[in-house]
Structure formats: structure tokens, C-alpha cells
Structure 1
Amino acid sequence: MSITNDIKNAFRQPNNTLKQLIIINVLVFLVFLIIGTPLSWMGYGWIEKWALYYLSLPSQPIELLTKPWTLITYFFTHEGFFHILFNMLNLYWFGMMLNEYLGSRRLLSLYVLGGLAGGLLFILMYNLLPGFTMRSGQLIGASASVLAIVVAAATLLPNFTFNLILIGPVKIKYIALALVLMSWAFAHESSGNAGGNIAHLGGALIGWIFIKQLQRGSDMGRPILAVTDFFTNLFKRKPKLRVTHSSFTGAKPQANGSRSSKPARPDQNEIDRILDKISSSGYESLSKEEKQKLFQASQKD
């Protein structure tokens, strides 16, 4: 099977948001890498810079008005191999956790919310604070979205442990704290990437708020999902209607004489209680019934 078919299948499969996000980021990076290199050989490197400019988020609001799409495109665009490598690794590791416990749709909404929050904080800081008002910049990279997912995972499952090379077992709440402190330290105006680190902090904040609101029964991601569903339905092929006639109107019984039925959706209060239990005691403390209820909720959201 070709790579093209593998990519198509990844986008056809339901509940496959994590893989889709990684594929989009990698494809954008590869396009710049494959096309940009020969262009630079021929003296047309300005074309790559021009394309990068029209995908990156500007710090000036007036400039943003001329390319508003960059509020989205910037967090799918990377420059530099290690830039995308570390972002995609963190997205995969921590995204797998959220995908399992909260479902792929909430993972998507958090990724977008983290990117939006990081981008807006970047613009605000560069236009309101004296240390930045005399400067301008362009923002690219998924770091704000990824840090939102990292902090969300650490807020939901603070005692979950990763085995780090050369270090050993470390609870993810300490990994998230270290990443946030690093972003805070390098958000200084003298830093070469102050704007990027400011965006990281915006993403981290939204990740924490997202989980806290979810535990209170409020899903911040619903507006994001409503927008994505709208555009998805625009391009979805509608099935052709087929009229059939039958004299039998009753439900078809199964072999055991009972009708098929889907399991009932778990109550939101019950899901919140399970999430609180995971946060305090870990996923392993859940009973088989509680794990099943959490799985049902993640499949239906």
C-alpha cells in the first residue's frame, strides 16, 4: 500500500485525531523541506520565506487583519527539524493519554484552543507591555497547542509516571512544571524566542483551565467542535436515499428474542467523579465498571 493511501486511511478512520494532527504537521514541514531546498539552490529562497510569512502569525493586529487565517495555520507550521521533532513527540506521548481518557474530539478542541490562546497572548504582550511594544515578530510552531495538552494531561493525571532516559520514573506533573518554568524563564525580552515562550504560557494556562472546567461539567471545546463539524459536513458526501417497500413494520428480533440496544451514555456527574478519582488515585484504582463507563463516554464525545 502506498504512503498516499496510508494517509487517506488515517483521515477516514473515526476517532483518529491524534494521528491526523501529527500527519498534518509533518506534511507541512516536509513540503517546505522538499520544495524549499532546491529553490534555495536556484536562488529562489525568497519563495519559501514568502510562503512561511503567509502561514506565520504576526504580532501586529493591523497585519493580522490582512491574513487572519494565520491564527490557525501558525500552529501547524514548523521551521527546523528539532522544532517539529520535540513537538510531535510530546504531542504523541501526552496526546495518547488524553485520547484514551477524554476521547479524540476533546483532544482536537484542546489542541485548537491551546493554539488560539497562545497566539492571542503573543499578540497582546507585544502590543500592551512596554518591554515588547517597540518590537514586532512572527510566530510559528505547535508548541502552545502541545503544551496545552501536556498541562491538561498533568492536571488530569498528575501522578502518572513516565520512565525518562538517564533519569528514570518521573511523575508527569513534574515534567509539565519543568516545561512551564522553562517557558517562563525564556519569555524574557532579551530571549531570542520571547514571543514563542509567551505563546507556550498561553497554551499551558488553557490546558489547566480546560480540565478544571471539564471536571465541573463544562466543556470549553464545544464551540470549536461545532465549527469543525460544520465544515466537515460541508464536504461530506450525502448518501443517496433508497426507498423500499415492506409489509413488516415491527422490529426484527435477535436470536435470543431481545432487541438490540446501545449502552446508555454515562451521566456527566458520574464521569466527573471518575475523573476526580483518576486525578487523586490514578487510573489503576478504577473498577472494571468505571473503566467501561469512561470508555463509553470517550467514544461518544
Structure 2
Amino acid sequence: MSIWTEIKESFRQGSTLTRLIYINTGVFIIIKLLQLILLLSGLDMAYASIVINWLSVPSDPLLLLIRPWSLITYMFLHYDFFHILFNLLYLWWFGRLFAQLVDVRKLLTIYIWGGLAGAALYIFSFNLLPAFHPQGGSSSLLGASASVMAILFAVARVRPNFTVYLFLIGPVKLKYLAMGAFIIDLISIPGMANTGGHLAHIGGALIGLLYGWKLSEGRINGNFFDKMASRSGNLFKRKSNLRVTHSRPMSDMEYNAMKQRRQKELDRILEKIKQSGYDSLSKEEKQMLFNASQDKN
């Protein structure tokens, strides 16, 4: 199996968290390859900057009307190596916590809503707050930071007293970790070094707090907010190949043949667990294993 085939299979069978990391990494690599091609070809490197600008969220509302897709693309876009490195490390860490403590099916939902909230606060601030008027439309926003902050605050709201262990610090409850991250962003705004980014972080944190509150109160199912979120959360779901059909009763021979096929599939799944571990199973394989265990009880 080639490396490219392994990557495609890993993406296809991976969790939402794995796919988010793959997409962010893939976009970063494409941008860097574009820069390399332009450099080696002796072409103007400004072409790469044009691509980045078209994928980043502009602070100018008129430019945003021309580039509405940037509200989504910006949250998967990174330019510097250390920017994507730390964002993906935080995404992996907080994403695993969210999947384990909350609901892995809602990870993409909160990722997208966090990014949208971060972009909204960024655009609002740069157009309505006097302190940012001089920068105006010359500013743009990119990166997954707002989405990552939303994930952190959502899981911290649902499980505030869950303890994590930080290097050189020790055990820290999630609510204090989230509070510390929020304060750092808040006091960093006057520095003006990455004002737009810090504002986006705060927007992501606020929507994460709201989403986590709705989850913890059991108010996330069935309302308008969740219906909109579910549509974004279904983007990475694999379509089932199952079809409902009406058929005649099976004969003993057909039943035995079906039983043998099922047993072969279970043997294949068990062998896959033995070689790659339980986490390597797809959702359908895990469900089949669960159904088989229930049949034996």
C-alpha cells in the first residue's frame, strides 16, 4: 500500500478530529508548495499572497461580500509553521478532551461555530470600535485559533472540574485553564501585535461557552441553533451503504450462508483490532462488533 493510499484510508476511516487536522495540514502544505513553485519559476511571490488574501477573512464588510467563502476557509488556513504547529497541538489536545468528555459527533459543529463567532467579533470590532478604525480594510484574519478556543470553552463548561496535567504546572481544572486563556487574550489586546487574532479568540470562547451551557442544560437538541449546527456537523459523515428492502423469508441454506459471511466479517474486524487497535475501526465496524456482542448475551 502506497503512502498516499494509506493517507486516504486514514482520512476516510479517521475521526472528525483526525480529518480536521488533515485538512488544516493539507491547506498549509498546498500554500507552501505554491510559494515554492513561484520561487523556483522566478514568478512574483505576490501571487501566493493573493491566494491567501482570498481565503482570509477581511475586516472590510464590502470585501467580505465579494469573498463570503472566506468565513469558512480562513479557519483552515495558516501561513507560518509555528502558527499551524501550535494550533494543531491545541486542536489535538482539546479535541480529544471534547470527544472523550462531551460528544465527538459535535466536534465539527463547535469548530465551525467557533470560527464563525471569532470572525464576527473581529469584523464587528474593526468596524465599530474607534480604536481599530485606522486599520480598517487593510487587516485580515486567518487560522484555527477561534475554533480551538470554542472547543476548549465548550468542554470546560460541560466538565469544569475535570483535571488536566500541565507541564511544569501540574494538575489544573479545565475551568481555570479556560479562564487563564481568556484573560491572556483579553490583556493582550492593547499590545496591538495580533489584535484581530485575540478578538477572534474571545469570540470563539464566548460561543463555546454558550454551546457548552446548552449541552450541559440539555437544551441543544431540537432547537434552531442545533438544527443549523447539525448541518455543519454532517459535512464529514460517511454515507451508509445500507438500503432498506423488502424480501421474502430466507431458506435455511441462505441463512447459513449469511451467518458464515457475518462470521468472516467479524473475524476480519478482530484481526484488524489485533494489528491496529480498536481505534482503527470505522463507525460501521464498531457497530457490527457491538451488535455481535449483544447477540451473544
TM-score, normalisation: structure 2? 0.75
Distance 1:247-1:216 versus aligned 2 partners, 3 A rule: closer
Verify the 8 A CA contact 1:75 1:141 in the aligned structure 2.
Answer: yes
Distance 1:69-1:166 versus aligned 2 partners, 3 A rule: same
Deviation for aligned residue 1:247 = 4.9
Deviation for aligned residue 1:44 = 2.4
The unaligned stretches of length 5 or more in structure 2 are: 260-289, 291-297
How many corresponding residue pairs? 250
Aligned mates of 1:221, 1:245 — CA distance in 2: 37
Per-residue Cα deviation, 1:164-198 (whole angstroms, up to 9, x for no partner): 2222222222222221111111222x512111110
Deviation for aligned residue 1:134 = 2.7
Distance 1:94-1:242 versus aligned 2 partners, 3 A rule: closer
Show the counterpart of 1:26. 25
Report SS of the residue matched to 2:68.
coil
Q: Does 1:135 align with 2:135?
A: yes
Show the counterpart of 2:155. 153
Bigger mean CA deviation after superposition, 140-149 or 150-159:
150-159
Verify the 8 A CA contact 2:71 2:119 in the aligned structure 1.
Answer: yes
Aligned mates of 2:64, 2:131 — CA distance in 1: 21
Aligned mates of 2:52, 2:156 — CA distance in 1: 33
Verify the 8 A CA contact 1:164 1:170 in the aligned structure 2.
Answer: yes
Verify the 8 A CA contact 1:113 1:221 in the aligned structure 2.
Answer: no
Matched letter for residue 90 of structure 2? N
Distance 1:215-1:162 versus aligned 2 partners, 3 A rule: closer
Per-residue Cα deviation, 1:194-243 (whole angstroms, up to 9, x for no partner): 111100000000111101111222224431322554x679x96977x797
Residue identity over aligned pairs, in percent, reads: 40
Matched letter for residue 135 of structure 1? Q
Deviation for aligned residue 1:43 = 4.1
Distance 1:228-1:31 versus aligned 2 partners, 3 A rule: same
How do 1:71-220 residues align onto structure 2 when only pairs under 5 Å count?
A: 71-136=71-136, 137-188=139-190, 190-219=191-220, 220=225
Verify the 8 A CA contact 1:110 1:221 in the aligned structure 2.
Answer: no
Aligned mates of 2:109, 2:20 — CA distance in 1: 12
Deviation for aligned residue 1:11 = 3.5
Aligned mates of 2:247, 2:66 — CA distance in 1: 56
Deviation for aligned residue 1:245 = 5.5
> Greater helix share, 1 or 2?
2
The unaligned stretches of length 5 or more in structure 1 are: 256-295, 297-301
RMSD between superposed Cα atoms in Å: 3.0
Distance 1:10-1:222 versus aligned 2 partners, 3 A rule: farther
Verify the 8 A CA contact 1:183 1:201 in the aligned structure 2.
Answer: yes
Bigger mean CA deviation after superposition, 35-44 or 86-95:
35-44
Q: Does 1:222 align with 2:230?
A: no
Show the counterpart of 2:60. 60
Bigger mean CA deviation after superposition, 206-215 or 97-106:
97-106
Verify the 8 A CA contact 2:158 2:215 in the aligned structure 1.
Answer: no
Aligned mates of 2:44, 2:226 — CA distance in 1: 42
Per-residue Cα deviation, 1:36-64 (whole angstroms, up to 9, x for no partner): 13423524211110110110000011100
Distance 1:243-1:179 versus aligned 2 partners, 3 A rule: closer
Report SS of the residue matched to 2:130.
coil
Deviation for aligned residue 1:85 = 1.1
Matched letter for residue 49 of structure 1? S
Report SS of the residue matched to 1:54.
helix
Deviation for aligned residue 1:24 = 0.3
Matched letter for residue 203 of structure 2? G
Aligned mates of 1:237, 1:51 — CA distance in 2: 36
Distance 1:82-1:167 versus aligned 2 partners, 3 A rule: same
